[in-house]
Amino acid sequence: MSKLPNIASSIFTVMSKMAAEYNAINLSQGFPNFPVDERLTAIVARLAKENVHQYLPMSGYPPLLLKTARLVEKSYHRIIQPETELLITAGATQAIFTTIQALVKTNDEVVILDPSYDCYVVPVLLCNAKPVRVNLNDDYTPNWERIKNAFSAKTKMIIINNPHNPTGKIWTPSDFLALETLLEKYPEVIVLSDEVYEFITFEHQHISVHSRPKLHNRSVVVSSFGKSFHVTGWKVGYLVASESLMKEIKKVHQFLVFCVNSICQVAISEYLDLVSLEELGTFYQEKRDYFRKLLKNSRFKLMPCEGTYFQVASYAAISDEDDVSFCKRLITDYGVAAIPISTFYADGKDLKLLRFCFAKDNATLEEAANRLCGV
């Protein structure tokens, strides 16, 4: 008997498979297609001939831990102890899975804000716990009345995603004040904050849980070097948590992966001395603005994009089809793959929206936009 009887193939797998079958431009999965920084590839090439191929310490490569702690301090003015409050993970997905497995028990409840990324629910189910899905407002701001009503004596965790995938929405100070006020009534609830797009924000600055001292002792913050450095296939992320929470997380981590790819950790550690993550938002804002300009004369209505490298668009003026059917037809008839937003909702809420990834080279964006303008 299946432990996950209601879980099918991820929509990302489905759409990418169709994109390959129909030779479509793949704007569905969130990965860049432009070259990695030559400084980083040069480091990897050199390290391949050095003695960096064996197991590293379970928590991570010590110089990388130290530099990551400095990055957190520089970015958010939060001082963390690299030995006890920081863990290098095999990507952000493993960080999220490990955290939930370590901290959530049978019959606990975990509040998840929809539309939500699909890796949140499964580890909750595998804990024999209950995901409590709460829809955001239609403009993707948190509905604090609904969230408050979703809490109970069984609530163990709330998962937040900021900047938000799939919508590109970022939280405001008032959102964090509302969260902190709510959590005062539930002192045992843990915040799992997925912040993998933290350095990809535009007009408004990203606000991190790191910058909210009231949340430090009861939060786990997940980040991604893969997203920040355009090396998603390396699957290297990290998480920050208080020492008491980290002790439990490391118990699971050591038996799940033990340690993370050694050459990648050493390479990232060296690369951090050469690169400024402050430039990432500007880089992707240019991508966003260029893609939006290319689609200006299309029949798609572009939604606001405050962060991430995803652009949500409405096709309501084009078709009455459900979003999954429309996305499939977009592949078969027009050669462009996107992601339907309804698949991020537990109730399948369909607002006739889809998500494009604009982390692509300009030639790809131009050809994709040319096809989309013909829809």
Q: Which pLDDT score is estimated for 31?
A: 84
Q: Give per-residue pLDDT as tens, 124-168.
A: 999 999 999 999 999 999 999 999 999 999 999 999 999 999 999
Q: Which pLDDT score is estimated for 12?
A: 85
**CA distance linking residue 181 with residue 159, whole number of Å:** 16
Domain with CATH 3.40.640.10 in the chain: 39-271
Largest CA distance in the chain: 59
Q: Which pLDDT score is estimated for 10?
A: 82
Q: Which pLDDT score is estimated for 120?
A: 97
Report pTM: 0.96
Using DSSP's 3-state secondary structure scheme, residue 173 falls into helix
Low-confidence ranges of the chain (pLDDT < 50): none
Architecture of domain 39-271: 3-Layer(aba) Sandwich (3.40)
CATH class entry, domain 11-30+278-372: alpha beta
Q: Which pLDDT score is estimated for 1?
A: 81
Using DSSP's 3-state secondary structure scheme, residue 36 falls into coil
Residue type, 68: T
Residue 144 near residue 185 (C-beta atoms within 8 A):
no
Q: Give per-residue pLDDT as tens, 248-280.
A: 999 999 999 999 999 999 999 999 999 999 889
Domain with CATH 3.90.1150.10 in the chain: 11-30+278-372
Q: Which pLDDT score is estimated for 29?
A: 84
CB atoms within 10 A of CB 112: 22
